[in-house]
Structure 1
Amino acid sequence: MSTTASAVPAAQLAARYGLVPSSARPSFDTYVKALWQRRHFIAAFATSRAATQYSGARLGQVWQVLTPLMNAAVYYFIFGVLFQTRGNIENFEAFLVTGVFVFAFTQRSVAVGARAISGNLGLIRALHFPRAALPLSLTIVELQQLLVSMVVLCGIVLITGEPLTGMWLLVVPAVLLQALFNTGLALVLARVGAKIPDVSQLLPFVTRTWLYLSGVLYSIPERTSPGPLRDVMMANPAAVYIELVRDGLMDSHTAPSYAWYLAIGWAVVAFCLGFWYFWAGEVKYGRG
């Protein structure tokens, strides 16, 4: 019997019993359902990664707060003291630390997302599960670390003289929207990083440039003239989420009226496109 003839009954049997190739990409709705069924795996993976991330350091989890604090101290000395950018900003200390902490959340999410696939090939090749679980878990880890850091951030903001008001509650939806946006970016970079592992080496330069353009260290309206350049910089998603958190924590700071619309738009678009883009490459992860 020829190869072609023998293949026909096999195909018919597969169709009769609903069999599909194990490597075939599932439909979009099936993929979403599979992820939901593995929500406990995602939570457990995120918890274990968070617990072991700083296990080799003497100070352990304290580094997740110390790192942004040390960065803020360096930026304060260079930009606040040497370059005197603090002169035009009320409560520059709270302004700067808030910007550093919020931007660090996106910066770390992007970095771990780029290594989500390439850094877990052993797990991917050993177990069958929706690969999106990995960037989702790693973004949850970064969200957990941000929540710990926010306790320190709120303490710093109070010490610098900002009052505790009901506006602080707005920080919660702002951070959740940022987490959704970060997840979308992490999904995109996870697929890119799976094909081009060297992208992780390029990311620090990209995110550092992004930091300088996002108003972390200075006030964009104070340093730019009205026009297209200011509009583009203020619409930058990192700047939008920083502005919203500052608006919630600082009585002396007011975010643009359109910031919430941009925050929602960036979060929804980034997550939807990122999830779709990652799902489209599902069958390629862990091969080669």
Structure 2
Amino acid sequence: MTADGVATPTVSVLLATNVLNAWLDQAVRSILDQGEVDLELVVVHDQIGVDHDRTWTADPRVRCVTTGTSRGVGHALAVGAQVAQGRYLARLDGDDLALPGRLQAQVQHLQAHPEVVLLGTVARTIDELGAVTGRLGMTPAGDVRAVLLTRNVVVHSSVMMRRDAYEASGGYEASLRQMEDYDLWLRLALQGEVHVIQRELTEYRVHGGQLSRRAGSSGTYIDVVIRGRLDLARHLGRSLLLQHLRNTAWRAVQVARGRGWRRPGYERPAASGPVSSS
């Protein structure tokens, strides 16, 4: 029970937004329509006001939070996590969709696998009109921490994580304006296993306004991720020399992407093997 006597939800879904549009309404509805799960939806309005004419703001499962100053998605999600009450924390972006049964499938997987601290799903990529264009998040079965040493294969908008592991890892790094997800996954991976359900349970919208398109080839977040990859390699007992080589190659990929020589993973055609989300 919470301090005010309200039953504690099983899942708190964190959704941060700086726009109020039809995509946001669809995203919210895709969460509120999830069945068989006791949930709350924490909508962080990042430097924007709450539009109480939107009917979902009156839903008792919705908690609207505002930030005074926009400091990026990482900060907004950290704010949302601080007020969330659920045993599990899940994510959805305001331009994406949770497909029916997603939250229930993730809760069941986490309950059946106590060693797992972070759980993603395969995501269908969709265009601005909602047409399916590909897939993200295909991985080998089981623990994918070794894959995280080379690339981020966990789609941010698809995840569910254990709250205690999130807090033990330090949570979202509020100062990062890019790659706040990859940084968090690497720290969570020090707490336990990372799995990806190989079912399409999330829709990831690809459009011109995505924040991930603005990621440059240099910045604090690049150095933070590289340190996190080294820490995870050390934790898993992997060769640090090999990891330094992997990190050099990964940094080169970020340069190529920043200069437009390489398309982001979500824009490349889906292959039969693992596909990176960044």
Q: TM-score, normalised by structure 2?
A: 0.24
Of Structure 1 and Structure 2, the greater strand share is in 2
Q: Flag the structure with larger Rg.
A: 1
- Give the structure, 1 or 2, with the largest relative contact order (CA under 8 Å, sep 6 or more): 1
Q: TM-score, normalised by structure 1?
A: 0.24
